[in-house]
């Protein structure tokens, strides 16, 4: 794993409490998500990103955003932490977790594309204030489990960060709302 160095993905002045003990750094160019604890990368996971590439600017562009974010909410079928994903009742709408009889067709949090019976969703606050000031739009960008594999490999997303279900659950149990997320090209 890596060790913390000056000038790396997060500056050491960004720590402001226990929620910042962990940081997520996503390296889109090499399809790796790292979990950092203080000054050390303690986990690395394979990922897949948006089929539209990087640099999300508008809803529906299928791009993964690049920049500084944080975890805004979390939901799972199998954890007691965060919101509980329920079949036919759990959706993302307008960057919020909702329980409802219907919602956006691509945001069925119980679906195979979110991990199915292992559904695990870590939502980030895209678009951030900085993104909105730049005119960027869109919502419901997550780090989440994906069971829609091709030849055993993760598939491209509509802008989210896909992970294998086991990896997504391990990450989910170690982070919390407010954990910083840096997405790099």
Active site residues: 144, 160
Sign of CA dihedral 72, 84, 107, 112: positive
Query: What are the start-end ranges of the E strands in 38-171?
Result: 40-46, 67-76, 83-84, 90-93, 96-99, 120-124, 142-145, 161-163
Instruction: Answer for the pair 34, 2: CB distance below 8 angstroms, yes or no.
Output: yes
Closest CA to 183 of 151, 141, 155: 141
Name residue 182's beta-bridge partners.
25, 68
């Amino acid at each position: 794993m890596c060790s913390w160095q000056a000038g790396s993905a997060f500056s050491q002045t960004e720590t402001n409490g226990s929620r910042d003990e962990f940081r997520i750094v996503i390296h889109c160019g090499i399809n790796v998500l790292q979990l950092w604890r203080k000054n050390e990368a303690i986990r690395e996971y394979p990922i897949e990103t948006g089929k539209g590439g990087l640099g999300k600017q508008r809803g529906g562009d299928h791009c993964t955003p690049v920049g500084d974010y944080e975890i805004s909410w979390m939901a799972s079928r199998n954890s007691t932490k965060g919101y509980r994903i329920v079949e036919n009742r759990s959706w993302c709408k307008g960057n919020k977790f909702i329980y409802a009889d219907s919602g956006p067709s691509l945001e069925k949090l119980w679906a195979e594309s979110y991990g199915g019976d292992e559904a695990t969703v870590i939502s980030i606050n895209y678009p951030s204030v900085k993104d909105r000031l730049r005119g960027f739009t869109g919502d419901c960008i997550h780090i989440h489990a994906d069971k829609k594999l091709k030849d055993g490999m993760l598939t491209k997303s509509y802008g989210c960060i896909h992970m294998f279900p086991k990896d997504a659950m391990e990450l989910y149990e170690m982070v919390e709302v407010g954990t910083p997320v840096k997405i790099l090209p």
